[in-house]
Structure formats: C-alpha cells, structure tokens
Amino acid sequence: MKKILVKNSLFGIVQAIINMLLVFFAIPIFIKTLGNESYGVFALVMVIGNLNSFTNLGLTNALVKFIAEQGYSAETNIDILVSFILLITALLPLTIIAIFFNKFILLVILKVPLSVFAPARELYLWVIWANFLLMVGQVFGSILDALQKIYITSLLQTIYNIVYWGLIIIILLLGYNLREIGAAIFISALIWLVITFMSAIKAWGKISFNGVIKGFRNSTKKQLNYGLKIYSGGLINFLYEPFSKLLISHFIGVTEVGFYDLALRLRNQLWGFIGKIFYPLFPFMAEQYDKSIIRKYVHELEQKMFFVILPLVAIIIIIMHPFIQIWIGKNVNIIAISSIIIISFHLIGSSTVIPNYQFLLSKDLAEKTIILQLSNFVFNTLFFIITVNFVGYYALIIGNVAAIMSSFILSLYYQKKYLDSMIFDSTLQLFKLITSFIIMVICGLLLKIILKGNNIPILVFSPFIIGLVTLFLYKMFNLLKRDDIYRYFGTNNKLSIILCRIYNN
C-alpha cells in the first residue's frame, strides 16, 4: 500500500511541475499579447469553470468512496451508472440556463466591459461546453482514483494541460483573440474526456447494466446522502475565490481581477504539488476502519508538512518580488504583495491540515467540511466589506487571510474532537519551529541586502542558502530524528545516509 501511495503522489507531483511550467510560460505571453484587461476578462469568464460546484452534487467524491469500500461488485457497477445518470441530469439544465442567460451573466454578474463583450461571449460559450465534458469525464476519473490508479489520472491530466496551454500559446502567437482561446479550451476537454473514458474502461472492464433499474433508488439515496454533504461544501467554496473575483470586479475593476488571479495561479501551482501528494489519502482512508491508523497518518503528515512549509514560505517571501519582476515585469508591487500574503497564509493555514480534511470527507463527517467552507466565505466577505473603503483592492487580501485562519482553527478543533490529536508534540516543538522560521527569513533578507537587489542572483542563491540554514536549525533544535529520515527517504539509499550523517543520528 505504501508503494502505491508513493507512486500516485510522485506522478501527481510530475503533473503539477509540468502544469506549473506551462502556466509560467503562457501567462506572460497572454498579457503581453492581449493586455491586462483581456486577461482580467479571461480570469472572470473562467469562473464559469467552477460550474461543477453547482452540478456534481458531490457525486464524484461519493463514487470514489463507495468504489474503494466495495471493490468490484454488482452494487458498484450500479453506483457508477447511477452516478453518471444523476450527473447528466443535474448538468444539462444548468448548462442550458447558463447559455440562455449568457448576456446577463457576462454584463451584470461578471461585469465584463461592453467593449470586449463579443469575444468574451464566444469564450464563455466554449467554456460552458468544455466544462460539460470535463464534468462527465469526472465519473471515469473517479473509477481510476478509487482503484488507486491515481498515477493514470495524473498522466491524463498532464496530457490535458499540455494540450490546453499549448493550444492557447499557439493561438496567442498567431494573433488571435479570446474567441479562439475558447475553442482551444473545448478541444482540450474533448480530448481529455475520450482518453479518460478509454482508460477507465480498460482498468475496470465492462460496466454491466444488470440490476440498474431495480437498484437505482437505493444507489441514488446512498450517493446523494453522502454526496450532498460534499456538494454543500463545494457550493460554499464557490462563494470564496470565484465570489472574490466578482467582488473585485464590482467594487474595484476588471484589471484588478487579473492581479488577484495571478496570485491565485501562483498559489495553485504550489497547491498542485501538495494536493497531489495528499490526494491518494482519500481512497486509502476510506478503506481504513482502524481510527488509530488514521490518527497516526494525520498527525505525522501534518507535523512534517510544517517542517517543509515554513522554509518554503521563507523562500517565497524573499524571491517573490524579483520573480514577478522577471516573469510579468508590470504592476510588480501589487502582484508580489498579493502573492506573498495569499500563498504564505494558504500554505500554513490550509495545506498543513489537508490530511484532517481528507479524514473528515472519508469518514461520514463531510458535513464538517461545510462549516469549514462556510467560515471561509463569511470571514472573507465580512473583512472585505469592512475594509474596502479604507484599503481598496487589498481589502480582499485581508479577507482571504481572515478566511484561511478561521478554517485552520476550526480544522484543529475537529481534529482534536474526532481523532484526539493535534499537529505538534509539544509547545516547545512549536516554539522551535517558529524561531527557525524567523531566523530563515532574516537570513534571506540579509542575503538580499548583500546581493543589492540583483534579481537573478537572489532567485538562484536564496533557496540554497535558506535550505542550508534550515538543515542547520533543524539539527540544532533536534527537530528531525533518524526514524523520520528512514520513514520518508528509506533506509538503504545515499540520501538517507547523508542526512543521518548530517544530523549525527
């Protein structure tokens, strides 16, 4: 089991790296070719990509859970077919409504400028149909995930990302506009649907229709009882980041939506790494009935995530401004500040508690994730409204921070209540980590002063120096043990031997 978890995570990391490189290459071309306003419109219209929050009813996660628990059986075949039918039934009406009211949605809800309405409308319609295909394909992706073949879905996602961004880059270089970008998005979704369907059928085999009519009612009830809890959380999540873009569009302007979107995209690249590492835990936890095993995994993984996240945040604080200067070259301060704050708090307050979130989802505590998502929405909106007249655009950054910290505290509460576990072994361990983080940042700032603001040397040397300082501090404070090294890096390889020598374990 450990090998397949590692394999699934590694393939997910590779997929995240490839997507990151594609995004970093494509976005500057997009902004340079079409301008900040068009990119802001693109970011707004892609909010429609979150349409699945309204249509999937939590069915894909429910399907992963039940397939993982039941294995290959007649009941599971019925669940797959019922999930597909329910998804289509929910998706088609909303898709038709979204198309029929396209003008109202674009001009009134999204506040797209009238000057770019025509190409924005074409992009919007293509995205609606692309989202339809992606939603249908999630049923087949769920089959692969439940079979612990997440490495296959990661490979398929990589193919999708390459086609998606590759076509967009080609279209931009050829001088086309948002209209053609929409067509590229649809083509990418179609290709992904076909190859995901073929892969799922190959892995699962023939899906039998026997007993579907007889078992339809029970399967529907079972899936909706669980799925609607996840659906509610996903629906509320729509009211967080996508709604944040609508707040910016209405209260500030469409160009600022682009700034916020750039910060989110940078955050999402790092989230891609972390999410891919932890996603295999969901089907794994669904199979586990021994709470002590789950408690051990959640506690250990969250604690070690902090060991990794804190030096990463220190590096982000130091390199973000020179990175944005090289990558985008315009509006550097506002994008860099947004990125530093959003990424840092998200990594510390959200990424570190993913294992507990996966536990809540897999063990019939999904209603607790609704409360977590609701706290995000409430605190984000409340702090934005309170501060927007004083700090303008940065009100949303304040709101995001308040939202993340509220859900982090709630997650810790649920972890203590249901697993009788916290992240750190002691207050002293937490104090050592905080002290280490402060020293990392100070060392990074001193290096920045020494290098006199030269962007390339800062980008090259900061991660290296902060990495060395981290190794030294973790050794000085005795934060890493021999067992930790062997558990995560193996017992008979060069890296383990080197680390044990460094730490004298």
> pLDDT for 103-114, tens place per residue?
988 888 888 888
Q: What are φ and ψ of residue 371, in 5° steps?
A: -65, -40
How many whole angstroms separate alpha carbon 60 and alpha carbon 77? 14
Question: Can you tell me the distance from the alpha carbon of 23 to that of 33, in angstroms, rounded to the nearest whole number?
Answer: 15
Task: Work out the mean pLDDT of the chain and round it to a whole number.
Answer: 83
- The pLDDT tens digits of the residues spanning 243-259 come to 888 888 888 888 888 88
Q: Give residue 333's pLDDT.
A: 92
Is a pLDDT exceeding 90 seen at residue 193? yes
Helix (H, G, I), strand (E, B) or coil at 249: helix
- Out of 169-183, 218-232, 484-498, pick the least confident: 484-498
- CB within 8 A of 424, min separation 6: which ones? 303, 306, 430, 433
The pLDDT-based confidence of 432 (bands split at 50, 70, 90) is very high
Q: Which two tokens stand for residue 191?
A: 């290709």
Encoding tokens for residue 67?
């397939």
Please check whether residue 61 is in contact with residue 191, taking contact to mean a CB–CB distance below 8 angstroms.
Answer: no
The least confident of 100-104, 225-229, 490-494 is 490-494
Average pLDDT rounded to a whole number, residues 487-491: 59
Give how far Cα 288 sits from Cα of 63, 325, 356, Å: 17, 48, 14
Half-sphere exposure at residue 294, Cβ-oriented, CA atoms within 13 angstroms: 25
Considering the chain, what percentage of its residues have pLDDT values greater than 70? 84
Instruction: Specify burial of residue 331 (Cβ count, 10 A radius: 0-12, 13-18, 19+).
Output: middle
Instruction: List the alpha helices (DSSP H) in 290-331.
Output: 291-327
Q: What's the confidence (pLDDT) of residue 338?
A: 94
Residues 40 and 264: beta-carbon distance below 8 Å? no
Per cent of the chain over pLDDT 90 is 30
Question: What's the rounded Cα separation, in Å, for the pair 415 and 267?
Answer: 25
Q: What span, in angstroms and rounded, lies between the C-alpha atoms of 86 and 224? A: 9
440 to 318, 345, 408, 466, 468: CA distances (angstroms): 10, 17, 23, 6, 10
User: CA–CA separation, 354 vs 380, rounded Å?
Assistant: 20
Per-residue tokens: 185: 């998005």
pLDDT band for position 365 (50/70/90)? confident
pLDDT of residue 376: 87
> pLDDT per residue over 291-346, tens digit each?
888 888 888 888 888 998 999 999 999 999 999 999 888 889 999 999 999 999 99
Average pLDDT over residues 271-276: 70
Q: Report residue 132 as tokens.
A: 């339809």
Quickly state the pLDDT bin for 504 (edges 50, 70, 90): low
The Cα 408–Cα 185 span in angstroms is 35
Tell me what pLDDT residue 413 has. 94
Query: Does residue 139 have a pLDDT over 90?
Result: no
Q: Give the orientation angle of helix 291-327 with respect to helix 354-362, to 10 degrees.
A: 130
Q: Are 481 and 505 in contact (CB under 8 A)?
A: yes
Confidence at residue 236, expressed as pLDDT on a 0 to 100 scale: 65
Question: Is the separation of the CB atoms in 500 and 482 below 8 Å?
Answer: yes
- Provide the pLDDT for residue 283: 64
Furthest CA-CA distance within the chain: 74
131 pLDDT exceeds 70?
Answer: yes
Spatial separation of the C-alpha atoms in residues 193 and 199, rounded to whole Å = 10
Pairwise pLDDT comparison (337 vs 228), residue with the higher score: 337
* 140 CB-near residues (< 8 Å, 6+ apart): 196, 197, 199, 200, 201
User: What integer is the mean pLDDT of 278-301?
Assistant: 75
Task: Examine the pLDDT at 467 and tell me if it is beyond 60.
Answer: yes
pLDDT at 321: 94
**pLDDT score, position 463:** 92
Q: Is the predicted pLDDT of residue 135 greater than 80, yes or no?
A: yes
| Cα atoms in the Cβ-side hemisphere of radius 13 Å centred on 393 | 17
Residue with more model confidence, 416 or 142: 416
Residue 439 pLDDT exceeds 90: yes
CA distance 314 to 292: 34
Whether the Cβ atoms of residue 62 and residue 227 lie closer than 8 Å to each other: yes
User: What is the predicted pLDDT for the residue at 465?
Assistant: 94
- 205 pLDDT tier (thresholds 50, 70, 90): confident
- When pLDDT is cut at 50, 70 and 90, the band that residue 10 belongs to is low
* pLDDT value of residue 123: 92
Spatial distance between the Cα atoms of 179 and 171, rounded to a whole number of angstroms: 10
Least confident stretch, 284-288, 337-341, 397-401: 284-288
What tokens were used for 133?
A: 């295909």
| DSSP for residue 1 | -
To the question of pTM greater than 0.75 for the whole model, the response is no
